[in-house]
Every structure is written in C-alpha cells, then in structure tokens.
Amino acid sequence: MTDEREHGGTTVRTVDWDARAAGFDEEPDHGLRDPGVRAAWSARLRSWLPGHPADVLDIGCGTGSMSLLAAEQGHRVTAVDLSRAMTERARAKLAGHGAEVLRGPAEAPPVGERRFDVILVRHVLWALPDQARVLRHWRDLLRPGGRFVLVEGVWGESHPVGVPADRLTALLEPLTAGARVERLSGDAVLWGKEVTDERYAVVATV
C-alpha cells in the first residue's frame, strides 16, 4: 500500500515496507550485490564517516546494506527500522559483525539515552512528515562534534517525491555548525545505471 500526501511543500509517501522487503535488495543500490556498486558505496561511506571506530546509528536501515559496509569499516553499528521483515533481513546480513538491529520508528529510534558519533540515514527523511522536528530529535542523539550523513534526493518526473538539497540544508542550518552537499546523480556506478534526477549526500557536523 502506498499513500501520498503533502507536508510543508514536500510530497511525503508512506509505503508498506514489509511487503517490499523480499524484493528490496534486487535494486542495485539497495542490495549492493554488484561488486562495482558495492565498492562505490563503500568508498563514499568511508569518506563520510570518521577515520576511527565510531558509534553509528543507521536509521531506516532497510535490509542493512549500509550498516554492513560501516561495520566492515570498523564502526560500531546500531541499525533501526520499523519494518519487521526488513529488520529480520538486516539481522541475517549483519550476523557476525557485532552490529545491533532494533525495530522501531525512524522518528524516534528506540535507543534510550544512548548517544552516537554519526547519524546515518539513506532515503528515509523524504518519507517522514514534519522533517524539521525529526531532524531536531536526531540532533539530540548525537554527541558533541558528531555528524549527520544524510543521503536523499528527489525522484520521479510526473509526480516527484523527495527532499531537495537546498531544503535539507536549510532545515539543518540551525542545528549544525556546517554542512556540505555532495552531488551523487552523476555517479552512475552508485545506482547501477545512469540517473537524471537529484541525488545527493549532506554531511553536517554539530
């Protein structure tokens, strides 16, 4: 089931992720099964994350592909997703890598009083209502000097959905000490195909 609605000038879509879990990894940038795609995401992630072992909270982890890359790079990963089917696949994928997988909403990850060095979110914020409030809450989960690593975009032609980079940087401005935008649309290897829509990453320190 998919539902679309407007929120703050952005189209927000809710998706039945349990129903999509079985085929989720078939997309090249989801499952990272192609060695070239996997290597491309691994290199990008290495450039975004700290150069030392850090506590990373992967929010809306899906089947855990990005969590796995972070864990393989030596980081201590906590992965969260609301979908039971997604978290089951993430646990299987992350088995033996010391990562923790929790089930809960992206808006309020069930991590208690724990704080993290990195909030990692890929293709999740666009689907959440009240994105400003969500970002404020995520900011509270970061330690001083921590960082956001947010991979987002705007997809579709006739009915585009997503968060434009200028909107996301504006939302982050009062919460962070500085942010940089890395454009990803031109790197076809990341997606396993050529893309023409807006895809980017924002790395912002607090």
Query: What pTM, to 2 d.p., does this model score?
Result: 0.89
Q: Characterize 91-124 residue by residue with b for buried, 16 or more Cβ atoms within 10 angstroms of its Cβ, and e for exposed.
A: bebbeeeebebebeebbebebeeeebbbbbbbbb
pLDDT tens-place string over residues 31-46: 678 899 999 999 999 9
pLDDT tens-place string over residues 156-199: 777 889 999 999 999 999 999 989 999 999 999 999 999 999 99
Looking from the CA of 63 toward its CB, the CA atoms found within 13 Å total 20
Beta partners for 55?
A: 76
